[in-house]
Structures are given as C-alpha cells and as structure tokens.
Amino acid sequence: MIMLKKQICVAALVAAVICMLGIGACKKTENNARTSDNALAFAKAIDSTNLGQFEFLRLYTISDDGYGSGMVFLEDGSLANSENGHIGSVSTLKGKHETLTDSKRLAKHFPDFVKRVHETNDYLITCFETFYLDNAEVFQVEYVINHDFDNPESALYVTRFGESKEPPTIIVKCMGSCIKPTEDCVEVYNFVTNEARCSCQSDNCSMQIEYVK
C-alpha cells in the first residue's frame, strides 16, 4: 500500500468527466479543496453525479511558501514530502483497499525513468492518483523536473489483473506537442474501454510504453 511517511495516504478525489483521466485534475482539486471540510463537500458533490462509480484516491501537495512543493518515492514504496509544504487529500473510498501493485517496484522504477527521459535526478511528484478498477489499478503521476512548477509532466502506471500470477505493470508516457495550441500531449485513460492513449493524434505527439521490472 502506498503511504506517506508519518502520514497514511487515505485520500483523494474522483474527477473524471466522461470517464477519462487527464493531467488537469490535480490542479482542480487543489483549487477547490483547500480545507478538509471543503474537500469532503467537493467529493460528495462529485459522487452525487454518479461519477464516483470508480473508487479513487488522490494525494497532492500544497506549498506553504508559494514556491512549490512535492513528494519523492522512498525505497520502501512510500511517498514522502520533500519540500516546504503539506499534503492535501480527500477520499471517495467506501471501504478498505489494499493496493495490489508492487509499490517498491514503482519506487525503484520512477526515478530511473525520470533520469532516462529527462536526463536529471531532480524530480518532485506534485500529485499521485490511484484508481481501483475491477480488473486493473491505474496510477497517474503528475510531477515536475528541475523545480519547473510552471511546466508539469505526467505519466500513467497501469497494472492489469488476470493475465498472469504476477500482474504486469506498464508505464505510459506521451511526449511532444499537439497541432491545436489548446491541447496538450498527455496521457489519457479511458475507463470504459480500459485503454490508454495520448490526448491528441499527431506526428509530434508520441507514446512511450515500457514494462516495469
């Protein structure tokens, strides 16, 4: 189970209009859920629209000094706040959940992936989301590199069950740009078809997929 060091991650918010997951959701949560009471009210409002059919957890960071904050993976698979800030969280879970994906494997893979893709060891996770589906677990990671909070990156981890004794986990990363200036080349997960794709179909927007070992 992915947890905060000294603070259990029992949080987040469902926000996938038309049953799709995209990078903009984390910022919406931070803007609409500054306090615990407001966060819970916001979660209940979303759940009442029947969008809460997917049990969902979100953990995101709020900067105390206005300069940005974030989390990093620890070797044991937990997430720890590494900057001056605190953790915002809210939940739509209706029962206890145990994450079946190997969190230690993600903790080992993600820093290495950042190093290979962005050629830096400097990363901060600003939002970590988990969707518990019937046959899969989907994790969206929103992060920044080199403390560039104005240009967030994202990636999707997907673990599918029923395919083998050890469910495979893949990472999906879309890179490049879209033809329309109003669109971003980011990962989108369709909960109806259980498929991941890039938000736009363009020669300048390419998808990278690899197995997490």
State the Cα angle at 190 between 188 and 192, rounded to 5°.
Answer: 175
Residue 69 has pLDDT above 50, yes or no: yes
Q: Which residues pair with 59 in a beta bridge?
A: 89, 128
Mean pLDDT of 136-156: 93
The pLDDT, as a whole number, for residue 103 is: 93
What pTM does this model have? 0.77
Question: Which position has the higher pLDDT, 60 or 33?
Answer: 60
Q: pLDDT-derived band of residue 47, with 50, 70 and 90 as boundaries?
A: very low
Residue 198 has pLDDT above 80, yes or no: yes
The pLDDT, as a whole number, for residue 122 is: 96
The pLDDT, as a whole number, for residue 195 is: 82
Indicate the length of the chain as a whole number: 213
Residue 35 has pLDDT above 60, yes or no: no
| Spacing of C-alpha 202 from chain mean position | 24
